[in-house]
Amino acid sequence: MLNAGADIALPQGYALNEYRIESTLGVGGFGLTYLATDSNLNLKVAIKEFLPGELALRCEDQSVKPKSDSTVNTFKWGLSRFLDESRTLASFRHPNIVRVMRFFEANQTAYMVMEFVAGQPLNEWIEARRPPAEQAVLSIAGPLLDGLEAIHRANYLHRDIKPNNIFIREDGSPVLIDFGSARGASVDTGKTAIVTPGYAPFEQYHAQGNQGPWSDLYSFGAVLYWMVTGCKPVESVARVRKDGLPPAAEAGDRSRYSAELLKAIDWALAPLEEARPQSVAELRNVLRRLVAVPASEQPTILIEPRPGPEVSSRPTSLPAAAAYDRETLKKIETELAAHIGPIAPMVVRSAAKKAFTLSRLIELLAAEIADDKARTAFMRKFAAAEKSVPTGAPTGTPMAQANSAPLRFDAATLTAAEAALAKYIGAVARVVVRRAAGKARDESELYLLLADQIEDKEERKAFVRRALSASRKA
């Protein structure tokens, strides 16, 4: 075996199934992340390898084995959890969570293949934009909270939210990455090893810590604190007996940031877990009040948070560009509630602020549904929305433009993609293609995203091969 101090990364050019390793993106406590190329699709991907440094070593044949007999069972347990985590994450279809495309076992360990996110980590992105405006902070916070809520609904915790685990895509949208700490190691090492000073809550420093959604929200609050003050918070263990962290309400620039935002950050950063918001919904309800528009423009929809920091009494309303009638929203809420429970009304209202057409609203909401069959059924049910325009929408506004095809793909390409996918999922293919086209960087990635809607593994592979072959001949 290689000694513990040797470079344990797979070499550049190494063939891992159909993937070719290009470089090492990062090394963490539970493994390594590589930039690789899918040789079949000529697509860049990120691959995470399970290799916990405290438990295992790389062999000369590139396989991974436990360091000693005493670590065998712990390594096997961690490997099983890594596969369970991969399986769970692969079921997520959320625009603000890094997408897991597949996972497999090789080299006596396991690998998770994820989309490669082109952009910058938040800590680099923000440098040229300091101090960010309040709306810039909220435009990052809102979508990330939506993604985090999807993780919590699946009974997972991220446990390592920090600036360099948040990527800002080239289109400005945020995405949460690196789930290697999401319960990915043994009970003995996992809970104590997952600590990023300044961002980890006190309960993550010891194995018996009461960890829950409030733990991720502490880390999330720490990121917001760093964004608005420019300073990383004091380490949580130093705050338990005597809190020396200047509250955001004092450290933040009051001429730039509202008292409500700063108090919400302090709420999330409470040293004791019971003093923090207990769910994403609680924190999001407070932040929503900061993006309210005048009540005269839209029907008012009040959202009452449970007791937390004092907030403005301004109501949250749907923006003027999305004046959906209440009956339509109620139907959508009822259908969505069958999949995600009683939070459906809040999720619908949040998505309605971002969507300029009813069809776009349905696309955003469908991403909240983890099960592929249920998601497709939901979109099918509202497929007629593709031709709908919200009540009161003025003509000649961005709403009309939202129904046009994304500029990066011509009409012929999208029509061909719709026809190919419709053979598997029917008329809803048009909506699915438009959603995928908004994310894909090229035609290869477009078809890879569309293939996710096909349940049968062999049919999925055949779809990608036929589609890409046809596009190259065109």
* Amino acid 384: pLDDT: 53
Q: Tell me what percent of the residues of the chain surpass a pLDDT of 90.
A: 37
* In the predicted structure, residue 382 carries a pLDDT above the cut 90: no
Region 258-263 average pLDDT: 93
267/164 same-domain check? yes
* In the predicted structure, residue 99 carries a pLDDT above the cut 80: yes
Nearest to 236 by CA among 281, 197, 210, 264: 197
The model's confidence at residue 197, banded by pLDDT at 50, 70 and 90, is very high
User: And the tokens for 296?
Assistant: 């005269």
* 297 compared with 37, residue with greater pLDDT: 37
In a domain, 303, yes or no: no
- Number of domains comprising the chain: 4
Give per-residue pLDDT as tens, 6-29.
478 999 999 999 999 999 988 877
Domain boundary at 71, 100, 115, which? Answer: 115
* In the predicted structure, residue 452 carries a pLDDT above the cut 60: yes
C-beta atoms surrounding 128 within 10 Å = 7
* In the predicted structure, residue 156 carries a pLDDT above the cut 90: no
In a domain, 309, yes or no: no
The model's confidence at residue 375, banded by pLDDT at 50, 70 and 90, is confident
* Amino acid 207: pLDDT: 73
* Amino acid 296: pLDDT: 32
* In the predicted structure, residue 331 carries a pLDDT above the cut 60: yes
Which amino acid is located at 281 in the chain?
Answer: A
In a domain, 380, yes or no: yes
**Is the backbone peptide bond immediately before 309 cis, with ω within 30 degrees of 0?**
no
Residue position matching structure tokens 């602020």: 353
Give per-residue pLDDT as tens, 338-349.
777 656 676 777
Q: Which helix (H) or strand (E) holds 27?
A: strand 19-28
Q: Tell me what percent of the residues of the chain surpass a pLDDT of 70.
A: 78
Which residue range is the domain that position 370 belongs to?
321-400
* In the predicted structure, residue 57 carries a pLDDT above the cut 50: yes
* In the predicted structure, residue 195 carries a pLDDT above the cut 90: no
In a domain, 6, yes or no: no
Residue position matching structure tokens 């829950």: 212
**Alpha-carbon dihedral 55, 59, 63, 64, rounded to 10 degrees:** 0
Range with the largest mean pLDDT of 26-35, 102-111, 122-131, 434-443: 102-111
* Amino acid 35: pLDDT: 95
Given a contact cutoff of 8 angstroms between Cβ atoms, the answer to whether 360 and 294 are in contact is no
100/126 same-domain check? no
The model's confidence at residue 56, banded by pLDDT at 50, 70 and 90, is very high
60/199 same-domain check? no
260/286 same-domain check? yes
137/258 same-domain check? yes
In a domain, 305, yes or no: no
283/366 same-domain check? no
372/240 same-domain check? no
d(CA 147, CA 162): 15
CATH number, position 250: 1.10.510.10
* In the predicted structure, residue 3 carries a pLDDT above the cut 50: no
220/361 same-domain check? no
Residue position matching structure tokens 């991220």: 158
pTM of the model: 0.58
104/144 same-domain check? no
d(CA 96, CA 43): 20
Distance of CA 165 to the CA centre of its chain: 10
* Amino acid 318: pLDDT: 33
Given a contact cutoff of 8 angstroms between Cβ atoms, the answer to whether 443 and 413 are in contact is yes
* In the predicted structure, residue 370 carries a pLDDT above the cut 80: no
Residue position matching structure tokens 């989309």: 115
Mean per-residue pLDDT over the chain, rounded: 78
Domain boundary at 253, 271, 292, which? Answer: 292
Nearest to 266 by CA among 320, 227, 224, 209: 224
In a domain, 202, yes or no: yes
In a domain, 34, yes or no: yes
* In the predicted structure, residue 209 carries a pLDDT above the cut 50: yes
* In the predicted structure, residue 252 carries a pLDDT above the cut 80: yes
Distance of CA 461 to the CA centre of its chain: 26
71/153 same-domain check? no
* Amino acid 472: pLDDT: 55
* In the predicted structure, residue 391 carries a pLDDT above the cut 50: no
CATH number, position 99: 3.30.200.20
* 441 compared with 229, residue with greater pLDDT: 229
* Amino acid 215: pLDDT: 94
110/166 same-domain check? no
* Amino acid 117: pLDDT: 84
Domain boundary at 115, 148, 166, which? Answer: 115
In a domain, 301, yes or no: no
99/136 same-domain check? no
Region 449-474 average pLDDT: 71
d(CA 145, CA 352): 16
Given a contact cutoff of 8 angstroms between Cβ atoms, the answer to whether 111 and 104 are in contact is yes
Given a contact cutoff of 8 angstroms between Cβ atoms, the answer to whether 185 and 30 are in contact is yes
